[in-house]
Amino acid sequence: MTDATVKMDAPFPASLLDSAPAPTVGTAQPRIDGPRKVSGTARYAAEHFPEGLAHGVLLRAPIGCGRITGVDAEAALAMPGVLALIRDERLIRNGGDFAGAAAPVQGVDEVAYFGQPIGVVVADSPERARAAALSVKVTYEAAPGVFDMEAARGTALPPTDDIYGLFLIHTEQGDVDRTAHEAAALVDAVWRTPSQSHAAMEPHASVAVWQDGRLTLHASYQSPVVTRDQLATVMGLQPSEVRILSPFVGGGFGGKLGVMPEAVAAAIAARHLGRPVKVVMTRQQVFETTGRRPMTHQRVRLAADAAGRLTVLQHETITDQLAGEVFFEPAGLATHLLYAGENRLVDHKVVRTNKLLGVSMRAPGEAIGQLALECAMDELAEALDLDPIELRLRNEPERHPELGIPFSSRALVDCLRHGADRFGWASRNRVPGGLRDGEWLVGHGMAAAARGNLFGPSRARVRIDAGGRVMVETEMTDIGTGTYTVLAQIAADLLGVPLARVEVRLGDTDDPASAGSGGSWGAATSGSAVYAACAELRARLAAAAGLPADTLTFADGMVTASGFRRPIAELVGDGLSVEGSVQPGESNSRFNQTSYGAHFCEVRVHAVTGELRVARWNSVFAAGRILNRQTATSQAIGGVVFGIGGALTEELVHDPRSGKVVNRDLGEYHVPVHADIPPIDVHFLEERDPVANPLLAKGVGELGVCGSGAAVANAVYNATGVRVRDFPITLDKVLAGLPPVSAARRRA
Ligand code: MOS
């Protein structure tokens, strides 16, 4: 039962956070879970060793499409310590995403992609399980699969589901064809982005323990309640019969949203053997058998009149996915709202391929959609001989250009102006290839950023014990984002206790359910539930004091009013416990809620080798109230690094004969490392968004990814005069177009 609910049907009148006497919210606070992480005492999923533990290793399909005709485990089962080979059709069901209820049901012998789990081998040690799995002889009949999305583009069909109506599969207004033919300036091109991997630091791991008919899973999931419900469905259990614990998650980026095969394998094997079973994926298995960001083929057509006003915005995306799966990469998301313009067409289609499941990855849709859109804007600005910032300023919409609804808050123009100042944009060289520093070609680029702000139902329990200590409990997770710290700050400020007197417990499905960590909604939704609980606690403390709540001040562990001063501990008696919740309401549909930003960067391209280096970076963001400057900055920097990776290095390579992931480790799948990244300057504008939630905050986790890759690509063009529309922009794609270097110089 929830004691206090905030429903967002209208702008929130006034946030109690704005009257906290000594606020920690808004300041930079180091993570309260930091000491446990650096000292190794934060226990991750794979670090659980219950009594009698056995170890499972996934057995996986060695073909990309076809049938398993035989599994000979005789030798494997005779090996020392080997307990079982379990083959079960439930193994290959996976949630994949929030929309996992529609996961495919297939026989365990049918293979839809290379690396698909077809069994689990269990032994008394991980080494023995692995050796046994390698000894299992699998025979198969390969069938011709679809491995090349480009070649199969003609088979593209609309997605089967709009994923809660969020992704807007198809919108259309005006006449894009006719208007494009009359335009003063036109850009019409195709951008391609490859499959990408989340590449979180911590591999997927699950430890399953059955006790009295109930399954407990120590696992690493971003939204344990979602995973619990999916796992319960797969196992034929009630959700109440499953408990998932994910107090620490070593990165997710969307790859740990839906239930993955290691969790199902551990649960099935533990039940089968009557003892706890741990399944930890190897790095290669994470790359091959969890999920990926689907590849895209994006046609963007932009047209403008002579005054630089957009007349056509057209963005058609073709992406790929396994048959039967509902998730699709919604690359056109930001195109619906970023710029004004009367004639518009946004469309998505899906090609069914036999490749690893496509799932959400950090800023699904927007991250790679803005690679195309924001590069196209750069090309259009050039065609108009306009500064790219000026082009954006001339196309700033008053309201949502397709839905006609107001924006809850929108500071894109301020982000562009502040960013330009901080970077020194005005003094840049405008002639592509026109600036050299020795053998380096120097270029500058910019792009806008937008990421939708989402809000879902969330609950949290806040307790004050007899000693005045505060405990916050919610199923919400901290996937490296700072949730522990942010929730503690909100409770500390609202109840007027020092941060050190607040404890936060996360990631247990037996605690009040949250919206989980995903879609950049984590801090704002779970923080709002904590807000609702604390507001109710203040009312109860006021009742205990016999005074109206709005006359009280909560600070330093004391409750004070004129002529009244008592320690909070004295007012709570044996303790107070309140459950707060937040519910989305009409504000979700009456307003468009989006976080904005602008990126500016300098890229250097070596004139001889084509080596690309990002040399300088400024980003400015507006995302409502910033709850913790340190963790938000860290999220923003991480997002920009993600964007740089998408622009320059990240590509999951599929073998064209089988769809197999070729570069299935961090040595071959290139995420940027320290030496690839310059100091990144992140600045947040002061903003409050009363439409969003009681915190007046919007999401930041995915905002930095949006547009940042396009800023890099635009800078590469400015440096070299080479437009690369096939991401990532590796040096081989730039080299051919570089200005000639004399043969003598090349040798030197
Ligand atoms: Mo995110 S892709 O919802 O973790």
Token duo for residue 630: 């340190």
The H or E element that residue 712 is part of is helix 708-720
**Ligand 1 atom, smallest distance to 360 CA:** 2
Residue 89: band (very low, low, confident or very high) from pLDDT cuts 50, 70, 90: confident
The protein residue whose alpha carbon is closest to atom 4 in ligand 1 is 254
Tell how far the Cα of 363 is from the centroid of ligand 1, in angstroms: 6
Mutate to test the pocket of ligand 1, among 221, 253, 293, 481 (most ligand atoms within 8 A of CB): 253
Tell how far the Cα of 153 is from the centroid of ligand 1, in angstroms: 27
Tell how far the Cα of 639 is from the centroid of ligand 1, in angstroms: 12
Residue 744: band (very low, low, confident or very high) from pLDDT cuts 50, 70, 90: very low
How crowded is residue 20: how many other Cβ atoms within 10 Å of its Cβ? 21
Tell how far the Cα of 253 is from the centroid of ligand 1, in angstroms: 5
The active-site residue out of 202, 288, 579, 702 is 702
Whether the per-residue pLDDT at 99 is higher than 70: the answer is: no
Supply angle C-alpha 464, 468, 470, rounded to 5: 45
Spatial distance between the Cα atoms of 134 and 465, rounded to a whole number of angstroms: 54
The predicted pLDDT at position 106 comes to 44
The predicted pLDDT at position 742 comes to 55
Mean pLDDT across 101-112: 61
The predicted pLDDT at position 94 comes to 52
Has 202 been annotated as catalytic?
A: no
Tell how far the Cα of 721 is from the centroid of ligand 1, in angstroms: 35
Ligand 1: lining residues by beta carbon, under 6 Å: 222, 252-254, 257, 360-362, 364, 518-519
Token duo for residue 586: 């009409």
Mean pLDDT across 209-235: 95
**Residue whose structure tokens are 């699904």:** 364
**Ligand 1 atom, smallest distance to 257 CA:** 4
Spatial distance between the Cα atoms of 189 and 191, rounded to a whole number of angstroms: 7
Spatial distance between the Cα atoms of 365 and 693, rounded to a whole number of angstroms: 24
Spatial distance between the Cα atoms of 562 and 421, rounded to a whole number of angstroms: 48
How crowded is residue 63: how many other Cβ atoms within 10 Å of its Cβ? 22
By the 8 A CB rule, do 652 and 507 touch?
no
**Residue whose structure tokens are 């280096």:** 613
Mean model confidence pLDDT for the chain: 95
Half-sphere exposure of 590 (CA within 13 A, CB side): 10
By the 8 A CB rule, do 661 and 147 touch?
no
Tell how far the Cα of 255 is from the centroid of ligand 1, in angstroms: 7
Laid out side by side, the sheet with 343-352 consists of 170-173, 343-352, 310-321, 296-304, 185-193
Tell how far the Cα of 361 is from the centroid of ligand 1, in angstroms: 5
Helix (H, G, I), strand (E, B) or coil at 473: strand
Helix (H, G, I), strand (E, B) or coil at 490: helix
The predicted pLDDT at position 100 comes to 45
Whether the per-residue pLDDT at 746 is higher than 70: the answer is: no
How crowded is residue 38: how many other Cβ atoms within 10 Å of its Cβ? 10
CA distances from 78 to 56, 269, 271, 365, 619 (A): 16, 18, 22, 49, 60
Spatial distance between the Cα atoms of 383 and 707, rounded to a whole number of angstroms: 20
Cα of first residue to Cα of last residue in the chain, in angstroms, is 75
- Lowest model confidence (mean pLDDT) among 77-91, 139-153, 611-625: 77-91
- The CATH architecture assigned to 408-451+593-748 reads 2-Layer Sandwich (3.30)
Helix (H, G, I), strand (E, B) or coil at 253: coil
Bridge partners of 6, per DSSP, are 582
Residue 737: exposed, middle, or buried by beta-carbon count in 10 A (0-12, 13-18, 19+)? middle
**Residue whose structure tokens are 């710029």:** 339
Could you tell me how many residues make up the chain? Answer: 748
How crowded is residue 500: how many other Cβ atoms within 10 Å of its Cβ? 10
**Ligand 1 atom, smallest distance to 363 CA:** 2
Whether the per-residue pLDDT at 345 is higher than 70: the answer is: yes
DSSP state of 595: E
Whether the per-residue pLDDT at 23 is higher than 90: the answer is: yes
What is the distance of C-alpha 461 from the center of its chain? 26
User: Domain ranges in the chain?
Assistant: 4-30+455-589, 408-451+593-748
Residue-wise pLDDT for 296-333, tens only, equals: 999 999 999 999 999 999 999 999 999 988 899 999 99
The predicted pLDDT at position 93 comes to 55
CA distances from 81 to 85, 121, 134, 434, 683 (A): 12, 11, 15, 68, 57
**Residue whose structure tokens are 């006359």:** 551
The predicted pLDDT at position 581 comes to 98
Residue 166: exposed, middle, or buried by beta-carbon count in 10 A (0-12, 13-18, 19+)? middle
Mean pLDDT across 110-133: 96
The predicted pLDDT at position 627 comes to 98
Spatial distance between the Cα atoms of 674 and 684, rounded to a whole number of angstroms: 23
CA distances from 204 to 34, 132, 245, 291, 488 (A): 22, 21, 14, 11, 28
Mutate to test the pocket of ligand 1, among 360, 368, 454 (most ligand atoms within 8 A of CB): 360
Whether the per-residue pLDDT at 399 is higher than 90: the answer is: yes
Mean pLDDT across 405-414: 98
Which of 333, 406, 330, 403 lies closest to 587, judged by CA? 406
In the chain, the percentage of residues whose pLDDT exceeds 70 is 97
Mutate to test the pocket of ligand 1, among 198, 257, 329, 703 (most ligand atoms within 8 A of CB): 257
Equal fold, 4-30+455-589 vs 408-451+593-748: yes
Helix (H, G, I), strand (E, B) or coil at 568: helix
What is the distance of C-alpha 637 from the center of its chain? 14
**Ligand 1 atom, smallest distance to 362 CA:** 2
**CATH for 4-30+455-589 (3.10.129.10, 2.40.37.10, 3.30.365.10, 3.40.50.300):** 3.30.365.10
Residue-wise pLDDT for 469-528, tens only, equals: 999 999 999 999 999 999 999 999 999 999 999 999 999 999 999 999 999 999 999 999
By the 8 A CB rule, do 532 and 461 touch?
no
Tell how far the Cα of 520 is from the centroid of ligand 1, in angstroms: 7
Whether the per-residue pLDDT at 83 is higher than 70: the answer is: yes
Residue-wise pLDDT for 591-643, tens only, equals: 999 999 999 999 999 999 999 999 999 999 999 999 999 999 999 999 999 99
